[in-house]
Amino acid sequence: MKPLDRTEARSQLSTFAAPPNQGGREPRNVSGSSSPRNPVRTAGVVRLAYESVASTLLRLPPTVRGYGLPIGTSLLVAAVVAVVEPGFYRPANLHVVMQQYAVLGLVTLGQVLVLLVSGIDLSVGAVMNAALITIALMNHYNENLLLVSLVLCILIGAGVGVTNGLLVSLRDVPPFAATLGMTACVQGAILVYTKGIPAGNIPTALRPIALDGIGIVPYSLLICLAIGLVVIVFLSRGSYGRTIYAVGRSAEVARRVGISTTAVRVSAYTLCGVFAALAGIILSAYVGYVDPAIGGTYNLQSIAAAVVGGVSFIGGEGKPAGALIGALFLLTVLNVTTLSSLNPFTQLIVQGVVMLVAVSLFHLIKRGSFA
């Protein structure tokens, strides 16, 4: 849907406010209130409300749309959460949210880099699983090899990323297929090596990364935010950022102006793999138990967080800061629905509805701020 200008918005508003009389049985109510027996009118009212919000947002100055709206929306969400589930703001709960955010934030940062170059990475969960298995197995054989195992995790993440990048860039394998295939390879390798039953435990020396911190702020969050800051700076100020966006917007044009699209894509996938490995290390420290399917939900969660945060599927559009806000939003919704003690099935519906509303709203904001 292309952005509406003020005239178009007004025109559409007037169309919905005064629908034509098509059958001589015009409903009495023309003020916008809906009748539950008339789904067409209900849909019209919803559309009217949507377009009203759109036209109001588009009247705002670009600066306000660019920075004020994400902050304003975040404050609005914070206020709604305070009313719906005040327990969210308990220090103990905020500590838990921060612990979990550190993991999702890191994976999302990597996913953003890949999405920006028109890719997608469905192997982040497998890399996280591989990280946990590596740590547990090395600890099983020698408890003094923690540092070596962490370096190995990062190398595995980088290796998977480089392979993904090369498959996509040099062999023209669609990113979806390349990374899904890589997931099967990594999971298969884990199963072959462990026979489905991983040995070992998570070393206790690793656990403070996720469990301890400064006040209620865990070290893992500090690591995530530090990396996030570096990514934000590099993408917004450095030449690397410009090449990432250029390749995502049009690889052909980028190639013509002398950018090595292969190097850019491979670097994005490699960083994504490294961030996934780091997230796997932190999640292993947080969970504290060998769970070979530890990265299970992070493929889709990281993509959802990035999309909610305004990152485009088609590449070259979106910002890491937006994605980090998206990750926070996603985690807040998950946390609040868990705190609400709703039936799990109802929780899923609430999460789905809130996500859809959020994506729609962020799409409106994006028209002004991320375009």
Partner 1 sequence: MSRQSVRRGSWETGFAAVAAALLALTACGGSSGTPGGTKTYTIAFISQGTSNSWAAQLDAVASKAAKADGVKLVYFNGQGDATKQLPEIDTAIAQKPDAIVLVPLGGAADTGPVERAMSQGIKVVLCDSTITSQNYTSLVTPHAETAAVPLAQWLADKMNHQGNLLYIGGLPGNTTTITYDQGFNSVMQKYPSIHIINAGNANYSISTAKQLAATAIASGKTFTGAWGVGGEAVTGLMQALIDAKVNPAPPIGGAAATNGILRLAIQNKMEVASLQFPPTSSQVCIDTAYKAAKGETVPKSINISDLPQYGPILPPLDKYYKPQFSDDMYVGTDSVLTVDELKALNLVK
Name the residues that contact partner 1, by CB under 8 A. Answer: 87, 90, 92-93, 95-96, 99-100, 191, 194-199, 201, 211, 283, 286-294, 296-297, 335, 337-339, 341-345, 347
- Cα 2–chain centre separation: 24
Nearest distance in Å: CB 354, partner 1: 15
Nearest distance in Å: CB 91, partner 1: 9
The DSSP call for residue 4 is P
Nearest distance in Å: CB 294, partner 1: 5
Using the minimum distance from each CB to partner 1, give the nearer residue, 116 or 137: 137
Using the minimum distance from each CB to partner 1, give the nearer residue, 3 or 86: 86
Nearest distance in Å: CB 278, partner 1: 16
Using the minimum distance from each CB to partner 1, give the nearer residue, 32 or 87: 87
Nearest distance in Å: CB 80, partner 1: 18
Between CA 47 and CA 12 the distance in angstroms is 10
- Cα 83–chain centre separation: 25
Using the minimum distance from each CB to partner 1, give the nearer residue, 295 or 316: 295
Between CA 224 and CA 170 the distance in angstroms is 31
Nearest distance in Å: CB 283, partner 1: 7
Nearest distance in Å: CB 366, partner 1: 29
Count of residues making up the chain: 371
The DSSP call for residue 67 is I
Using the minimum distance from each CB to partner 1, give the nearer residue, 57 or 128: 128
Nearest distance in Å: CB 107, partner 1: 13
Between CA 113 and CA 272 the distance in angstroms is 7
Of residues 139, 153, 62, 66, the one with CA closest to residue 106: 153
Using the minimum distance from each CB to partner 1, give the nearer residue, 246 or 336: 336
Question: Kind and range of the H or E element at 218?
Answer: strand 217-218
Using the minimum distance from each CB to partner 1, give the nearer residue, 8 or 291: 291
Using the minimum distance from each CB to partner 1, give the nearer residue, 147 or 197: 197
Give the DSSP per-residue string, 285-323: HHH-S--TTTTTTHHHHHHHHHHHTT--TTSS---HHHH
Terminal Cα-to-Cα distance of the chain (whole angstroms): 13
Between CA 47 and CA 68 the distance in angstroms is 25
Instruction: Extract long-range pairs of 256-262: CB within 8 Å, 24+ residues apart.
Output: 261/169, 262/165, 262/166, 262/169, 262/170
Place of tokens 């709206």: 69
